């Protein structure tokens, strides 16, 4: 019995709709002060295959988006996540704030 072999070593790979095979990659450099003016989220998603950036840019963008969910305290001006803001108002800031007995025992400020 003879074994069947193919002479071609080409194995077709699935194409995920990025670019036709052989087409150049569309690359964006997401860095610098004008990055948000130059590259919108829609443009990055639709017109680019690879985004080159730095960890610092990823961190800065993450912090910018995370800050959108924060609430500003009307008494002290600090910014808090919504669930932390309730605790802040209850125990630390504003006319209705009342510290617990354990919190009252702790020294705060410069006199520590």
Show me where the domains of the chain are located.
24-68, 70-104
pLDDT on residue 105: 81
pLDDT tens digits in sequence order for the chain, 112 residues long: 455 555 555 555 555 566 677 788 888 888 888 887 888 888 888 888 888 889 998 998 898 888 888 999 999 999 999 899 999 999 889 888 888 888 888 876 666 5
8-40 exposure pattern, b = at least 16 Cβ within 10 A, e = fewer: eeeeeeeeeeeeeeeeeeeebebeeeeeeeebe
What would the DSSP string read from start to end of 91-112? Answer: HTSSTT----HHHHHS--GGG-
Residue 29 pairs in a beta bridge with 52
pLDDT on residue 56: 92
Are 53 and 29 in contact by the 8 Å Cβ rule? The answer is yes
């Amino acid at each position: 019995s003879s074994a069947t072999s193919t002479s071609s070593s080409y194995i077709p790979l699935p194409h995920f709709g990025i670019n036709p095979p052989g087409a150049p990659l569309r690359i964006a450099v997401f860095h610098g002060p004008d990055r948000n003016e130059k590259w919108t989220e829609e443009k990055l998603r639709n017109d680019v295959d690879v985004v080159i950036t730095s960890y610092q840019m990823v961190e800065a963008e993450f912090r910018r988006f995370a800050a959108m969910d924060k609430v500003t305290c009307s008494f002290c001006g600090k910014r808090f996540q919504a669930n932390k803001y309730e605790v802040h108002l209850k125990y630390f800031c504003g006319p209705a704030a009342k510290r617990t007995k354990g919190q009252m025992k702790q020294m705060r400020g410069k006199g520590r």
